[in-house]
Structure 1
Amino acid sequence: MIDDIVRTAGSLAHQLGPLRRAVLRASRSAADLPDIPDAQIELMRALAAADNTPSDLADSLGLARSTVSNLISQLEREQLVERHLVAGDGRRTRVALTPLAQARLRTFDESATRVLAEALRGLDPGDVAAITAALPALDRLQHRFVGG
């Protein structure tokens, strides 16, 4: 017999991916933004918090350094990030968002807020209250995975 925790975990696992993808698609479409893969968005979000070295980004995102390097190269080609040598160390680079990337993230976040607000307005008030009440618990759950 499956206990409640396992049942809840299974349901949550099946809901998170499709919900995330639906919000991303709707937000991009509403703001007429290009289709930026999730991994690139995660990297851009990490860079929005602070410029970092590629190895620091790999560690904080839990990705292989080669994966981060490839993502940075892709974003650099799209003029969304730029690399700068670390002062006093001619071998290491720091990566920073360009103004274009900052504007796109801001536009995406504003669009996501509008899209989600519109969707929430279409729900029963009890559902909205349940989602609102669950937000702190979801934040704590996320921190269980990222070690925060």
Structure 2
Amino acid sequence: MDTATEFGRLIGPLRRAVLRTRRAAELPDLPEAQIELLRALAEAGPLSPRQAAHRLRLAPSTISNLVRTMTAAGLVERKPSATDLRTVHLIATPTALEMLHTYDRTSTAALHRALANLAPDNREAIERALPALGELLTALEADS
């Protein structure tokens, strides 16, 4: 078995299975890129569009499109900088932060249930693999 091939085949279905848990809970269907931007704003606080693009490794035009859509939906606010009127900072709204918390709580609960149904050896193997998966993510980001 080629590990890279097998892992690559599992990533998409795993991600979609987690996304389905959000839909089953009747949560709004936000694209993953919007969730990533909300998560970045929740973790880092206000960010300029340039900072958000750098942090998420997205093109500035992609951030611009996300912000336009998310501002219209009431998920992100654009606040002028107090020190530079040419700069704005992006802020997740309280509604968006609550939605993100609900998404995470729902996904985490579904993962807890699924992990509890695994054989103990497999559950422990996944737990042991988490640091390696974090390192893999870092390596993939460095490679791009």
TM-score normalised over the length of structure 1: 0.89
The aligned residue for residue 67 of structure 1 is 62
> SS state of the match for residue 38, structure 2?
helix
Q: Does residue 33 in structure 1 map to residue 41 in structure 2? A: no
Q: Does residue 103 in structure 1 map to residue 98 in structure 2? A: yes
Match of 1:54 among 49, 62, 75: 49
Residue 29 of structure 1 and its aligned partner are, at CA, apart by 2.0
Q: Which runs of 5+ in 1 are unaligned?
A: none
> Which amino acid letter does the alignment assign opposite residue 114 of structure 1?
A
> SS state of the match for residue 16, structure 1?
helix
In 1, distance between residues paired with 2:77 and 2:114? 36
The aligned residue for residue 77 of structure 2 is 82
Over aligned residues, Cα RMSD in angstroms? 1.3
Residue 145 of structure 1 and its aligned partner are, at CA, apart by 3.0
Residue 21 of structure 1 and its aligned partner are, at CA, apart by 1.6
In 1, distance between residues paired with 2:140 and 2:102? 28
> Which amino acid letter does the alignment assign opposite residue 21 of structure 1?
R
Q: Does residue 17 in structure 1 map to residue 12 in structure 2? A: yes
List structure 1 segments (4+ residues) > 4 angstroms apart after TM superposition: none
> SS state of the match for residue 95, structure 1?
strand
Residue 11 of structure 1 and its aligned partner are, at CA, apart by 1.1
Instruction: Answer whether contact 1:28 1:111 (CA < 8 A) is retained.
Output: no
> SS state of the match for residue 34, structure 1?
coil
The aligned residue for residue 134 of structure 1 is 129
Q: Which runs of 5+ in 2 are unaligned?
A: none
Say how many residue pairs are matched. 141
Equivalent pairs: percent with the same residue?
Answer: 45
For residues 30-81 of structure 1, the C-alpha deviation after alignment (integer angstroms, 9 at most, x for no partner) is 2x21000011111111111121000111112111111100001111111111
Instruction: Answer whether contact 1:53 1:95 (CA < 8 A) is retained.
Output: yes
In 2, distance between residues paired with 1:146 and 1:84? 30
